[in-house]
Amino acid sequence: MHSIEQDAAVRYTRADGLADALRGADALFVYDFLSNAVPGAWYSADRLRWLHIASAGVDPVMFPELRDSDVVLTNSRGVFDGSIAEYVLGVILAFAKDLAHSVRLQDQREWRHRETERIAGRQALVVGTGPIGRAIARMLRAAGMRVSGAGRTARDNDPDFGTVHASAELNRHLAAADFVVAVAPLTEQTKGLFDAGAFAAMKPETRLVNVGRGELVVTEDLVEALRAGEIAGAALDVFETEPLPPESPLWTMDNVLLSPHMSGDFIGWRNALVEVFADNFRRWLAGEPLRNVVDKRLGYVPSAG
């Protein structure tokens, strides 16, 4: 940040001081990407021209006043693609090789031989065809899986997904998938996308992996689907309520793998986020086009699909 401080008057603030810090500011770097402080302090944004958030998802700052303003919104797309793809491959392998059960048996010092599944040739449906979804598709293909996608526009011959189905017709295509990976951005169209109807459309052997946003999944419907055996399991890194409440039944389900919103957090990720902002800051000063400009009508950086 030293180079930025050479070219700008930098104010550092916590959430409770944001309103004061925003007055007279031309740019805002929302480093705490889980904070919901920006809408409440927006009345003080009297000169703001650019807001950058240290995450790929922009829903914490996608409120009406920002959407209707002339403020340019950018995100940190690209930082977490490879790491999240590795996480997805990891949990798919954990399910196929029954690793959670092995750990439980190890804790009990119990020797129990089992047979496990192959993932080669199995079908993965990746819901969300942005850069993270593409990285996931490439990783799963490299592991021998068959991959298709679901995005805004249906198409064939996609370089990473092969076939992309229209998200509006998602339920028609869920039955073919052994693993469904949710990585779509959170929008009005995707909120609650995985509900009772979606789970009923899946086959009993299907596992769901959510590395997108917790609100993509209706938690109560997921719990019921798991209990009823409508789907075989779920790996969840994001949740409707975070931290996940202690009383949630998801904690104690044998067919559920949980992690605390960390699928993309590799060693060094914080510095990588700052580097993305610093690069955009240099572009902003030079009057050059910014990277990762969010279409505020869509809620994400546009890309094919």
Task: List residues with catalytic annotation.
Answer: 213, 242, 261
Q: What is the DSSP string of the chain?
A: -HHHHHHS------GGGHHHHHTT-SEEEE--TT--HHHHHGGG-SS--EEEESSS--GGG--HHHHTSS-EEE--TTSSHHHHHHHHHHHHHHHHTTHHHHHHHHHTT----------TT-EEEEE--SHHHHHHHHHHHHTT-EEEEEESS-EEEETTTEEEEEGGGHHHHGGG-SEEEE-----TTTTT-BSHHHHHHS-TT-EEEE-S-GGGB-HHHHHHHHHHTSSSEEEES--SSSSPPTT-GGGG-TTEEE-SS-TT--TTHHHHHHHHHHHHHHHHHHTPPPSSB-BTTTTB-----
